[in-house]
Amino acid sequence: MKTIMNNFGYFMKEARTIIKINFMSNILSIVSIGLILFFAAATLSSWWISNQVVEIIEDEAEINVYFAEDIDKKKVEHIINNIETLAGVEEVRLVDENEAYHRMEEILGKEAKVLQYLDDNPFSPYIEVQIDLKSMESVIEGLKNIEGIDQIRDNKEIFDKVRNLSSVLKTLGYIFIVAVGASTLIIISHIIRTGIYENREQINTLILLGAPDGFISFPFIIEGMILTLGGGLLASIILSLTLRYAYSVMTGPLPFIPLPDQKSMVTNLVSMIMLLSAVLGLLGSLFGLRSAKSR
Protein backbone atom coordinates (compact mmCIF):
# COMPACT_ATOMS: atom_id res chain seq x y z
CA MET A 1 0.00 0.00 0.00
CA LYS A 2 2.87 2.36 0.85
CA THR A 3 4.44 1.70 -2.56
CA ILE A 4 1.15 2.48 -4.29
CA MET A 5 0.69 5.75 -2.42
CA ASN A 6 4.27 6.86 -3.06
CA ASN A 7 4.01 6.13 -6.77
CA PHE A 8 0.36 7.11 -7.30
CA GLY A 9 1.29 10.10 -9.46
CA TYR A 10 3.34 7.85 -11.73
CA PHE A 11 0.49 5.33 -11.94
CA MET A 12 -2.00 8.05 -12.95
CA LYS A 13 0.38 9.37 -15.59
CA GLU A 14 0.85 5.89 -17.04
CA ALA A 15 -2.92 5.26 -16.99
CA ARG A 16 -3.52 8.48 -18.96
CA THR A 17 -0.87 7.44 -21.47
CA ILE A 18 -2.47 4.00 -21.90
CA ILE A 19 -5.90 5.59 -22.42
CA LYS A 20 -4.54 8.03 -25.05
CA ILE A 21 -3.11 5.17 -27.11
CA ASN A 22 -6.63 4.01 -28.04
CA PHE A 23 -8.45 7.22 -27.15
CA MET A 24 -11.53 6.87 -29.41
CA SER A 25 -11.93 3.20 -28.51
CA ASN A 26 -11.89 4.11 -24.81
CA ILE A 27 -14.39 6.96 -25.32
CA LEU A 28 -16.75 4.60 -27.12
CA SER A 29 -16.30 2.10 -24.28
CA ILE A 30 -17.30 4.77 -21.73
CA VAL A 31 -20.42 5.59 -23.78
CA SER A 32 -21.31 1.89 -24.15
CA ILE A 33 -20.88 1.22 -20.43
CA GLY A 34 -22.86 4.36 -19.60
CA LEU A 35 -25.81 3.32 -21.75
CA ILE A 36 -25.79 -0.22 -20.37
CA LEU A 37 -25.77 1.09 -16.79
CA PHE A 38 -28.50 3.60 -17.62
CA PHE A 39 -30.90 0.96 -18.94
CA ALA A 40 -30.27 -1.21 -15.88
CA ALA A 41 -30.89 1.72 -13.52
CA ALA A 42 -34.00 2.79 -15.47
CA THR A 43 -35.46 -0.70 -15.10
CA LEU A 44 -34.70 -0.71 -11.37
CA SER A 45 -36.27 2.74 -10.92
CA SER A 46 -39.44 1.50 -12.67
CA TRP A 47 -39.51 -1.47 -10.30
CA TRP A 48 -39.00 0.86 -7.32
CA ILE A 49 -41.95 3.05 -8.36
CA SER A 50 -44.27 0.10 -9.06
CA ASN A 51 -43.24 -1.52 -5.77
CA GLN A 52 -44.17 1.63 -3.87
CA VAL A 53 -47.55 1.70 -5.63
CA VAL A 54 -48.12 -1.90 -4.49
CA GLU A 55 -47.16 -1.05 -0.91
CA ILE A 56 -49.55 1.91 -0.83
CA ILE A 57 -52.37 -0.21 -2.26
CA GLU A 58 -51.65 -2.81 0.40
CA ASP A 59 -51.73 -0.20 3.17
CA GLU A 60 -54.89 1.44 1.82
CA ALA A 61 -56.68 -1.62 0.45
CA GLU A 62 -60.40 -0.97 0.37
CA ILE A 63 -63.64 -2.33 -0.98
CA ASN A 64 -66.54 -0.12 -2.04
CA VAL A 65 -69.95 -1.52 -1.17
CA TYR A 66 -73.05 -0.15 -2.93
CA PHE A 67 -76.63 -0.55 -1.76
CA ALA A 68 -80.03 0.14 -3.28
CA GLU A 69 -80.92 3.84 -3.31
CA ASP A 70 -84.41 3.25 -1.91
CA ILE A 71 -83.36 1.73 1.45
CA ASP A 72 -83.52 3.92 4.56
CA LYS A 73 -80.69 5.09 6.83
CA LYS A 74 -81.52 2.54 9.49
CA LYS A 75 -81.02 -0.28 7.02
CA VAL A 76 -77.70 1.26 5.89
CA GLU A 77 -76.52 1.41 9.51
CA HIS A 78 -77.51 -2.25 9.90
CA ILE A 79 -75.41 -3.15 6.83
CA ILE A 80 -72.44 -1.21 8.24
CA ASN A 81 -72.72 -3.01 11.59
CA ASN A 82 -72.76 -6.38 9.84
CA ILE A 83 -69.69 -5.46 7.77
CA GLU A 84 -67.77 -4.44 10.91
CA THR A 85 -68.18 -7.97 12.31
CA LEU A 86 -66.31 -9.56 9.39
CA ALA A 87 -62.77 -10.81 10.05
CA GLY A 88 -60.19 -8.74 8.16
CA VAL A 89 -62.24 -5.53 8.16
CA GLU A 90 -60.29 -2.63 9.69
CA GLU A 91 -62.60 0.37 9.19
CA VAL A 92 -66.06 1.02 7.75
CA ARG A 93 -67.47 4.44 6.86
CA LEU A 94 -70.30 5.83 4.78
CA VAL A 95 -69.36 8.07 1.84
CA ASP A 96 -72.32 10.26 0.84
CA GLU A 97 -72.98 11.52 -2.67
CA ASN A 98 -71.39 14.92 -2.02
CA GLU A 99 -68.13 13.43 -0.81
CA ALA A 100 -68.12 11.02 -3.77
CA TYR A 101 -68.53 14.02 -6.09
CA HIS A 102 -65.62 15.91 -4.49
CA ARG A 103 -63.39 12.84 -4.64
CA MET A 104 -64.01 12.57 -8.36
CA GLU A 105 -63.13 16.25 -8.73
CA GLU A 106 -59.76 15.61 -7.07
CA ILE A 107 -59.07 12.62 -9.32
CA LEU A 108 -59.99 14.44 -12.53
CA GLY A 109 -58.01 17.54 -11.61
CA LYS A 110 -58.22 20.08 -14.44
CA GLU A 111 -60.68 17.88 -16.29
CA ALA A 112 -63.18 18.15 -13.41
CA LYS A 113 -64.87 21.05 -15.22
CA VAL A 114 -66.87 18.48 -17.23
CA LEU A 115 -68.84 17.74 -14.04
CA GLN A 116 -70.20 21.29 -14.07
CA TYR A 117 -72.26 20.50 -17.14
CA LEU A 118 -74.29 17.90 -15.24
CA ASP A 119 -77.62 19.09 -13.84
CA ASP A 120 -77.62 16.65 -10.92
CA ASN A 121 -75.00 14.87 -8.86
CA PRO A 122 -74.55 11.55 -10.72
CA PHE A 123 -72.78 9.84 -7.83
CA SER A 124 -74.47 7.57 -5.32
CA PRO A 125 -73.53 7.06 -1.66
CA TYR A 126 -71.56 3.93 -0.84
CA ILE A 127 -69.83 2.21 2.05
CA GLU A 128 -66.04 2.34 2.12
CA VAL A 129 -64.46 -0.72 3.75
CA GLN A 130 -60.78 -0.64 4.73
CA ILE A 131 -59.45 -4.21 4.92
CA ASP A 132 -56.36 -6.31 5.46
CA LEU A 133 -55.39 -7.22 1.90
CA LYS A 134 -54.57 -10.79 2.90
CA SER A 135 -58.19 -11.25 3.98
CA MET A 136 -59.77 -9.81 0.82
CA GLU A 137 -61.21 -13.11 -0.44
CA SER A 138 -62.87 -13.95 2.87
CA VAL A 139 -64.19 -10.39 3.29
CA ILE A 140 -65.74 -10.45 -0.19
CA GLU A 141 -67.40 -13.80 0.55
CA GLY A 142 -68.76 -12.37 3.81
CA LEU A 143 -70.13 -9.29 2.05
CA LYS A 144 -72.01 -11.46 -0.43
CA ASN A 145 -73.96 -12.97 2.46
CA ILE A 146 -75.09 -9.61 3.89
CA GLU A 147 -78.62 -8.66 2.92
CA GLY A 148 -79.11 -5.25 1.30
CA ILE A 149 -75.78 -5.09 -0.53
CA ASP A 150 -76.39 -4.44 -4.22
CA GLN A 151 -72.86 -4.33 -5.63
CA ILE A 152 -69.28 -4.94 -4.43
CA ARG A 153 -66.32 -3.24 -6.10
CA ASP A 154 -62.79 -4.18 -5.14
CA ASN A 155 -59.40 -3.26 -6.58
CA LYS A 156 -58.04 -6.80 -6.48
CA GLU A 157 -57.66 -7.08 -10.26
CA ILE A 158 -55.80 -3.75 -10.46
CA PHE A 159 -53.62 -4.67 -7.51
CA ASP A 160 -52.75 -8.07 -8.99
CA LYS A 161 -51.76 -6.43 -12.29
CA VAL A 162 -49.57 -3.84 -10.55
CA ARG A 163 -48.00 -6.51 -8.35
CA ASN A 164 -47.32 -8.73 -11.38
CA LEU A 165 -45.80 -5.74 -13.19
CA SER A 166 -43.61 -5.03 -10.16
CA SER A 167 -42.47 -8.65 -10.10
CA VAL A 168 -41.64 -8.57 -13.83
CA LEU A 169 -39.69 -5.31 -13.47
CA LYS A 170 -37.81 -6.70 -10.49
CA THR A 171 -36.83 -9.79 -12.47
CA LEU A 172 -35.81 -7.64 -15.44
CA GLY A 173 -33.75 -5.46 -13.11
CA TYR A 174 -31.80 -8.46 -11.84
CA ILE A 175 -31.33 -9.74 -15.39
CA PHE A 176 -30.06 -6.33 -16.48
CA ILE A 177 -27.60 -6.21 -13.57
CA VAL A 178 -26.22 -9.64 -14.53
CA ALA A 179 -26.06 -8.57 -18.19
CA VAL A 180 -24.39 -5.28 -17.21
CA GLY A 181 -21.84 -7.14 -15.12
CA ALA A 182 -21.00 -9.63 -17.86
CA SER A 183 -20.88 -6.99 -20.63
CA THR A 184 -18.73 -4.59 -18.62
CA LEU A 185 -16.31 -7.30 -17.55
CA ILE A 186 -15.88 -8.38 -21.17
CA ILE A 187 -15.37 -4.79 -22.40
CA ILE A 188 -12.89 -3.84 -19.67
CA SER A 189 -10.92 -7.09 -19.81
CA HIS A 190 -10.59 -6.72 -23.60
CA ILE A 191 -9.36 -3.14 -23.26
CA ILE A 192 -6.84 -4.16 -20.59
CA ARG A 193 -5.51 -6.99 -22.74
CA THR A 194 -5.22 -4.59 -25.68
CA GLY A 195 -3.38 -2.08 -23.51
CA ILE A 196 -0.95 -4.72 -22.30
CA TYR A 197 -0.29 -5.78 -25.88
CA GLU A 198 0.27 -2.18 -27.01
CA ASN A 199 2.71 -1.58 -24.15
CA ARG A 200 4.45 -4.96 -24.12
CA GLU A 201 7.90 -3.44 -24.81
CA GLN A 202 7.69 -1.08 -21.83
CA ILE A 203 6.32 -3.90 -19.67
CA ASN A 204 9.22 -6.20 -20.64
CA THR A 205 11.67 -3.41 -19.79
CA LEU A 206 10.10 -2.99 -16.33
CA ILE A 207 10.25 -6.75 -15.77
CA LEU A 208 13.99 -6.77 -16.66
CA LEU A 209 14.52 -3.91 -14.20
CA GLY A 210 12.94 -6.06 -11.49
CA ALA A 211 9.61 -4.22 -11.11
CA PRO A 212 7.01 -6.34 -9.23
CA ASP A 213 3.75 -7.42 -10.90
CA GLY A 214 1.71 -5.03 -8.78
CA PHE A 215 3.77 -2.05 -9.90
CA ILE A 216 3.32 -2.99 -13.56
CA SER A 217 -0.38 -3.86 -13.25
CA PHE A 218 -1.64 -0.90 -11.24
CA PRO A 219 -1.86 1.61 -14.15
CA PHE A 220 -4.06 -0.85 -16.05
CA ILE A 221 -6.32 -1.25 -13.01
CA ILE A 222 -6.63 2.55 -12.83
CA GLU A 223 -7.48 2.59 -16.55
CA GLY A 224 -10.32 0.11 -16.04
CA MET A 225 -11.63 2.09 -13.07
CA ILE A 226 -11.55 5.35 -15.03
CA LEU A 227 -13.51 3.81 -17.91
CA THR A 228 -16.24 2.26 -15.75
CA LEU A 229 -16.54 5.28 -13.44
CA GLY A 230 -16.77 7.49 -16.53
CA GLY A 231 -19.55 5.27 -17.83
CA GLY A 232 -21.23 5.38 -14.41
CA LEU A 233 -21.05 9.18 -14.36
CA LEU A 234 -22.58 9.36 -17.85
CA ALA A 235 -25.35 6.95 -16.83
CA SER A 236 -26.04 9.00 -13.67
CA ILE A 237 -26.39 12.24 -15.65
CA ILE A 238 -28.75 10.67 -18.21
CA LEU A 239 -30.78 8.98 -15.46
CA SER A 240 -31.12 12.21 -13.42
CA LEU A 241 -32.38 14.14 -16.45
CA THR A 242 -34.74 11.32 -17.45
CA LEU A 243 -36.26 11.02 -13.98
CA ARG A 244 -36.68 14.78 -13.72
CA TYR A 245 -38.58 14.79 -17.00
CA ALA A 246 -40.63 11.69 -16.07
CA TYR A 247 -41.67 13.21 -12.73
CA SER A 248 -42.68 16.50 -14.35
CA VAL A 249 -44.85 14.59 -16.84
CA MET A 250 -46.45 12.17 -14.37
CA THR A 251 -47.18 14.61 -11.54
CA GLY A 252 -49.12 16.87 -13.93
CA PRO A 253 -51.96 14.83 -15.45
CA LEU A 254 -51.62 11.95 -12.94
CA PRO A 255 -51.27 13.60 -9.51
CA PHE A 256 -52.92 10.66 -7.72
CA ILE A 257 -50.13 8.23 -8.63
CA PRO A 258 -47.93 7.75 -5.52
CA LEU A 259 -44.32 8.36 -6.53
CA PRO A 260 -41.20 7.93 -4.38
CA ASP A 261 -39.33 11.07 -3.39
CA GLN A 262 -37.42 12.14 -6.51
CA LYS A 263 -34.31 13.37 -4.70
CA SER A 264 -34.06 10.20 -2.62
CA MET A 265 -34.54 7.98 -5.67
CA VAL A 266 -31.88 9.79 -7.71
CA THR A 267 -29.40 9.72 -4.81
CA ASN A 268 -29.87 6.00 -4.20
CA LEU A 269 -29.70 5.06 -7.89
CA VAL A 270 -26.62 7.21 -8.55
CA SER A 271 -24.89 5.70 -5.51
CA MET A 272 -25.74 2.21 -6.77
CA ILE A 273 -24.48 3.00 -10.29
CA MET A 274 -21.16 4.45 -9.10
CA LEU A 275 -20.55 1.59 -6.65
CA LEU A 276 -21.37 -0.96 -9.34
CA SER A 277 -19.08 0.88 -11.77
CA ALA A 278 -16.16 0.79 -9.33
CA VAL A 279 -16.61 -2.91 -8.56
CA LEU A 280 -16.96 -3.85 -12.23
CA GLY A 281 -13.94 -1.72 -13.15
CA LEU A 282 -11.78 -3.46 -10.55
CA LEU A 283 -12.98 -6.96 -11.43
CA GLY A 284 -12.75 -6.34 -15.18
CA SER A 285 -9.20 -5.02 -14.86
CA LEU A 286 -8.08 -7.96 -12.73
CA PHE A 287 -9.72 -10.40 -15.13
CA GLY A 288 -8.02 -8.73 -18.11
CA LEU A 289 -4.62 -8.83 -16.41
CA ARG A 290 -5.02 -12.47 -15.49
CA SER A 291 -6.14 -13.49 -18.98
CA ALA A 292 -3.25 -11.53 -20.52
CA LYS A 293 -0.70 -13.33 -18.31
CA SER A 294 -2.08 -16.73 -19.26
CA ARG A 295 -1.49 -16.11 -22.99
Strand order in the sheet with 89-95: 89-95, 126-131, 62-67, 149-154
Per-residue model confidence (pLDDT) at position 36 = 84
Do the Cβ atoms of 72 and 141 come closer than 8 Å? no
Judged on CB neighbours under 10 Å (0-12, 13-18, 19+), 52 is middle
Q: How many angstroms separate the CA atoms of 241 and 253, rounded?
A: 20
Judged on CB neighbours under 10 Å (0-12, 13-18, 19+), 183 is middle
CATH T-level assignment (fold) for domain 62-154: Alpha-Beta Plaits (3.30.70)
The CA–CA distances, whole Å, from 261 to 163, 245, 251 equal: 20, 14, 12
Do the Cβ atoms of 231 and 30 come closer than 8 Å? yes
Could you read off the pLDDT tens digit of each residue along the chain, which spans 295 residues? 565 566 667 677 777 877 777 788 788 888 888 888 888 788 777 777 777 766 666 665 678 888 877 788 888 888 888 888 888 888 888 888 777 777 666 655 555 566 666 667 667 788 888 887 777 788 888 888 888 888 888 766 776 776 677 677 778 777 877 887 788 778 777 777 777 776 666 666 666 666 666 677 778 888 888 888 998 999 999 989 988 887 777 665 555 556 677 788 888 888 988 998 888 888 888 777 776 565 5
Quote the crossing angle between the two packed helices 200-208 and 156-198, to the nearest 10°: 70
Per-residue model confidence (pLDDT) at position 233 = 93
Per-residue model confidence (pLDDT) at position 288 = 75
Q: How many angstroms separate the CA atoms of 182 and 163, rounded?
A: 29
Per-residue model confidence (pLDDT) at position 290 = 74
User: Whole-prediction pTM value?
Assistant: 0.63
| Domain range annotation of the chain | 2-56+160-293, 62-154
Beta strands 126-131; 149-154: pairing state: unpaired
Per-residue model confidence (pLDDT) at position 236 = 92
Per-residue model confidence (pLDDT) at position 8 = 66
Per-residue model confidence (pLDDT) at position 46 = 77
The count of residues in the chain is 295
